[in-house]
Structure 1
Amino acid sequence: MTKSINQWRIYLWTALAALLALPAIAMMAGAEGVAWGPGDFLIMTVLLGLLGLGIEFVSRVSKSARGKAVGIGVAVLAFLWLWAELAVGVFTNLGS
């Protein structure tokens, strides 16, 4: 069982690192509208790190599959809300 848990953790952190690499790849490919600076990468690294830690926390604390699904869903929704707030300020003027 420990091996499958470690394998799942490797997939999680690899997927989060790949998400962080996507804007860099897009900028190297010359995609329009993608112009991240070092601060953008730093903030997204922190956000994705917190998301990963939240998912790991929920998966360790919750015993039921339903509890894990709800907890991970809340973590993902919190990540998406904060990302949108910082990007464009959906509900507040944090992104302005």
Structure 2
Amino acid sequence: MKVKTCDITILKKMVKKNLFIFVSGGGCKGLKYNFMEKNKGLTLLNKNNLKIKTDIFSYFYLKESELYINVVNLCNKIVIKNSTIRDKCLCGMSFKL
């Protein structure tokens, strides 16, 4: 997983512990991203004292992806850019392969 250094700084302010990202069934396209703070899991990124972790199922969906922060109306939104996705919904949280 790739994350720009400026986005890591923002992420470190957003989460107190490690960021855990996982893929689950749901959303309008069948699969969706979920975010939580959790210490356990496979490490996708360990940079500047920020660890992004995931589970074994989600690792294969996320390992080649790019995470960035989109600032809209003074709110920070985590966005994942993934080249393996064929179709996604307008909000960007739901997708299909």
Q: TM-score range by the shorter chain?
A: under 0.3
The higher radius of gyration belongs to 1
TM-score, normalising length: structure 1: 0.28
Decide which structure has greater helix share: 1
Greater relative contact order: 1 or 2 (C-alpha under 8 angstroms, separation 6 or more)?
2
Decide which structure has greater strand share: 2
